[in-house]
Amino acid sequence: MISPRDPHPLSPASSPPNQASAEGQRAAELRDLLNRAAHAYYVLDAPVMEDPVYDRLYRELLELEQAHPELRSPDSPTQRVGGKPSEGFKEVEHRIGLLSLDNAFNSEELAGWYGRLLKVLDREASPGEPPSALAMVGELKIDGNALALSYERGLLVRAATRGDGERGEEITTNVRTIQSVPLRLQLAEPPPWLEVRGEALIPDASFAAINRERQARDEALFANPRNACAGTLRQLDPKVVAARRLDFFAYTLHLPPDWQPAAGDPPLPRSQWESLRWLEAVGFRVNPNAELLPNLAAVADFFAAWDERRKQLAYATDGVVVKLNDLRLQDAAGFTQKAPRWAIALKYPAEEAPSRLLRLSYQVGRTGVVTPVAEFAPVGLGGTSVSRATLHNADRLAELDLHLGDTIVVCKAGEIIPKVVRVLTELRPAAAQRAELPSVCPECGSQLVREEGEAASRCVNSSCPAILRGALRHWVSKGALDVEGLGSKLIEQLVDRGLVASIADIYGLDGALLASLERMGPRSAQNLLEALAASRQQPWHRQLYGLGIHHVGEVSAKALARTFTSAEALTAAAREAPESITAVHGIGGEIVQSLQQWLATPANQQLLEQLRRLGFSLAAPEPEPGAANAAAPHLAGLSFVLTGSLPSLSRSQAQALIEAAGGKVIASVSRKTSYVVAGVEAGSKLVKAQGLGLPVIDEAGLLQLLAES
DSSP string, 533-552: HHHTTS-HHHHHHHTT-TT-
Higher pLDDT, 136 or 690: 136
- Residues sharing a CB contact under 8 Å with residue 661, sequence separation 6 or more, in sequence order: 633, 634, 635, 706
Domains in the chain, please, with CATH? 12-79 (1.10.287.610), 135-347 (3.30.470.30), 352-441 (2.40.50.140), 465-535 (1.10.150.20), 540-613 (1.10.150.20), 629-707 (3.40.50.10190)
Judge whether residue 485 has pLDDT over 60: yes
Mean pLDDT in residue range 611-629 = 75
For 677, other C-beta atoms within 10 Å of its C-beta total 28
Judge whether residue 625 has pLDDT over 70: no
Judge whether residue 15 has pLDDT over 50: no
Q: Which of 446, 394, 331 is nearest to 681 (CA)?
A: 331
The confidence score (pLDDT) of residue 87 equals 54
- Of the CA atoms within 13 Å of residue 621, those in its CB half-sphere come to 7
Judge whether residue 219 has pLDDT over 70: no
By mean pLDDT, which of 195-199, 442-446, 559-563 is the weakest?
559-563
Report yes or no: 114 and 323 within 8 Å, Cβ to Cβ: no
Judge whether residue 610 has pLDDT over 50: yes
Q: Which of 306, 308, 309, 264 is nearest to 282 (CA)?
A: 264
Model confidence pLDDT, tens digit, residues 417-427: 788 989 998 99
Pairing mode, strands 291-293 and 317-324: unpaired
Return d(Cα 61, Cα 64) in angstroms, integer: 5
Find the helix or strand (DSSP H, E) in which 601 lies.
Answer: none
Model confidence pLDDT, tens digit, residues 650-685: 777 788 778 777 788 887 788 888 999 998 777 778
Judge whether residue 18 has pLDDT over 70: no
Ramachandran area for residue 673 (φ above 0: left; ψ -120 to 50: alpha; else beta): beta
Distance set, CA 501 to CA 471, 485, 505, 552, 602 (Å): 11, 19, 6, 23, 16
Return d(Cα 484, Cα 547) in angstroms, integer: 17
Written as one letter, the residue type at 332 is A
Q: Which one of 141, 419, 664, 685 is the catalytic residue?
A: 141
Pairing mode, strands 664-665 and 639-643: parallel
Torsion, Cα 198 203 207 210, to 10 degrees, reads: -90
Ramachandran area for residue 415 (φ above 0: left; ψ -120 to 50: alpha; else beta): left
pLDDT bucket at 92, cuts 50 / 70 / 90: confident
pLDDT bucket at 394, cuts 50 / 70 / 90: confident
Return d(Cα 37, Cα 378) in angstroms, integer: 48
> Per residue in 651-671, is it b (16+ CB within 10 Å) or e — as a string?
beebbebbbebebbbbeebee
Return d(Cα 503, Cα 475) in angstroms, integer: 8
Mean pLDDT in residue range 629-637 = 63
- Of the CA atoms within 13 Å of residue 5, those in its CB half-sphere come to 16
- Residues sharing a CB contact under 8 Å with residue 633, sequence separation 6 or more, in sequence order: 660, 661, 662, 663
Annotate 72-128 with three-state secondary structure.
CCCCCHHHCCCCCCCCCCCEEECCCCCCCCCEECCHHHHHHHHHHHHHHCCCCCCCC
Q: Indicate the SS3 state at residue 577.
A: coil
Q: Which of 331, 326, 340 is nearest to 652 (CA)?
A: 331
Q: Indicate the SS3 state at residue 194.
A: strand
- Residues sharing a CB contact under 8 Å with residue 168, sequence separation 6 or more, in sequence order: 91, 92, 94, 98, 148, 160, 161, 162
- As a 3-state breakdown, the chain gives helix, strand, coil percent values, each rounded to 5, of 40, 20, 40
The confidence score (pLDDT) of residue 101 equals 87
Bridge partner residues of 582 (DSSP) = none
Judge whether residue 253 has pLDDT over 90: yes
pTM above 0.85, yes or no: no
Pairing mode, strands 343-347 and 317-324: antiparallel
For 629, other C-beta atoms within 10 Å of its C-beta total 8
Q: Indicate the SS3 state at residue 295.
A: coil
Return d(Cα 334, Cα 120) in angstroms, integer: 9
Model confidence pLDDT, tens digit, residues 498-516: 999 999 999 999 999 999 9
Model confidence pLDDT, tens digit, residues 593-602: 889 988 988 8
Return d(Cα 656, Cα 228) in angstroms, integer: 39
Active-site residue flag, 141:
yes
The arrangement of strands across the sheet holding 194-201 comes to: 155-161, 145-152, 194-201, 247-254
R_g over Cα of the chain: 29
Return d(Cα 441, Cα 459) in angstroms, integer: 6
Q: Which of 394, 436, 338, 325 is nearest to 101 (CA)?
A: 338
Residue-averaged pLDDT of the chain: 84
Percent residues over pLDDT 90 in the chain: 42
The confidence score (pLDDT) of residue 367 equals 82
